Amino acid sequence: MLEFHHAFDLLSRKLTGWMQQLILLLPNLLIALLILVTTFFAARLVRRAVTNLLGRVSGSGTLNNLVVTMCYVGTLLIGTFFTLEVLSLDKTVTSLLAGVGIIGLALGFAFQDIAANFISGIIIAVQRPFMVGDVIETDKYFGTIESINLRTLDLRQVTGELVRVPNRKVFESPVINYSVTTRRRVDLPCGVAYDSDLEQVCAVALAAMQGFPHLLPDRPVEVMFTDFGDSAINFTLRFWIPYTRQADYVGAKSEAVMRLKRAFDAAGIVIPFPIRTLDVSAALLAQLQPPLPSASPPGTVPRDEH
């Protein structure tokens, strides 16, 4: 019975001590609750203000959403740390920060490729070397940009396939943006026979391009002979066109091929196909030839074997 009264007395004193501490901590609890409510409304105001501000100065929706989310979460974290400070939970704050640092370090090593793509996406969104709708070539892919995300770049190839290129590949590889300028040069390689008159070839090629649609007037058509090939003298027909899409370039090159072939046929200029000359020695030719039948001596009569 004495043990029961002793245990009850200990429990009663413990509960009384907790009640006293709760009463003493009650003002701090009210202040902490007020800080949490204020932090929640402040975070919403910060998110709205940052959204309006970035909407005026930045055209990247993906980057804007990232910055808005970071500001919103950062405001909530600051309010949470102040709340823990008011409740005298300093050690808890220190432990949380240490735990977040360790977790962040571990995740950085485990997902370093994802982190690299993410950081590259942020840099691309800030620098904006290209935009949605541009025609680019990067990392052996060629097509039109459909979307720019923080991890990948969606590229629609001219053959219809959708390629999602990691941002790290785009950031580290050379990028050719064909939509930066509104003009592009078409290089058409060709060859003529060795016995052709090169002055005539040049004149006929330039005449074939007369009246070519959408030629830029400030850039003349050029015929440049490049080298002596195996079976032809090679040259390049160069001309400039306005460029808005890939179909303009492909269509202009096809039209130039048809015009050049038509003009060369009419002028009698030969576009040779590859020719190989086989040089056979006289000794080898003698070995390959069949032996001639031996002639009978004069005055002999062939015997009848029958």
- The reply to whether 61 falls in a domain is yes
**Domain identity same for 100 and 165:** no
Could you tell me the CATH number of the domain that includes residue 155? 2.30.30.60
Number of domains making up the chain: 3
**Domain identity same for 26 and 105:** yes
**Domain identity same for 22 and 104:** yes
pTM of the model: 0.58
**For residue 270, how many other CB atoms are within 10 A of its CB?**
14
Q: Which tokens is 185 given?
A: 């040069």
Measured distance CA(218)–CA(70) in Å, rounded: 51
Cβ proximity of 169 and 222 under 8 Å: no
- The reply to whether 117 falls in a domain is no
- The reply to whether 277 falls in a domain is no
**Domain identity same for 104 and 15:** yes
Write down the pLDDT at residue 204.
95
- At 163, the amino acid letter reads V
Domain boundary, last residue among 66, 81, 110: 110
- The reply to whether 32 falls in a domain is yes
Domain boundary, last residue among 59, 80, 110: 110
Alpha-carbon distance values, 219 to 87, 222, 289 (Å): 76, 9, 61
- The reply to whether 278 falls in a domain is no
**Domain identity same for 196 and 138:** no
Q: What is the pLDDT of residues 229-249, one digit of tens each?
A: 888 999 999 999 998 888 889
Write down the pLDDT at residue 126.
78
Write down the pLDDT at residue 148.
85
- The reply to whether 306 falls in a domain is no
Write down the pLDDT at residue 11.
66
Could you tell me the CATH number of the domain that includes residue 75? 1.10.287
**Domain identity same for 32 and 102:** yes
Listed as ranges, residues in the chain with pLDDT below 70 are 1-11, 15, 17-26, 57-62, 89-93, 96-100, 104-112, 275-306
Which of 80, 18, 69 lies closest to 47, judged by CA?
69
**Domain identity same for 171 and 192:** no
**Domain identity same for 46 and 70:** yes
Write down the pLDDT at residue 258.
95
Cβ proximity of 253 and 188 under 8 Å: yes
Longest dimension (CA), the chain: 160
**Domain identity same for 194 and 157:** no
- At 108, the amino acid letter reads G
Distance, first Cα to last Cα, the chain:
149
Could you tell me the CATH number of the domain that includes residue 189? 3.30.70.100
Write down the pLDDT at residue 185.
93
Write down the pLDDT at residue 306.
46
- The reply to whether 151 falls in a domain is yes
**Domain identity same for 136 and 103:** no
Write down the pLDDT at residue 117.
80
- The reply to whether 283 falls in a domain is no
**Domain identity same for 66 and 86:** yes
Query: What residues pair up with 236 in beta bridges, in sequence order?
Result: 189, 224
Q: How many residues does the chain have?
A: 306
- At 111, the amino acid letter reads F
Alpha-carbon distance values, 234 to 192, 202, 209 (Å): 7, 12, 18
**Domain identity same for 170 and 188:** no
Domain membership of residue 76 as a residue range: 11-110
167: CB partners within 8 A, 6+ apart: 117, 118, 120, 121, 124, 149, 150, 151, 152, 153
Write down the pLDDT at residue 199.
94
List alpha helices for the chain, DSSP H.
2-57, 61-86, 90-110, 112-127, 167-172, 198-208, 246-267, 282-288
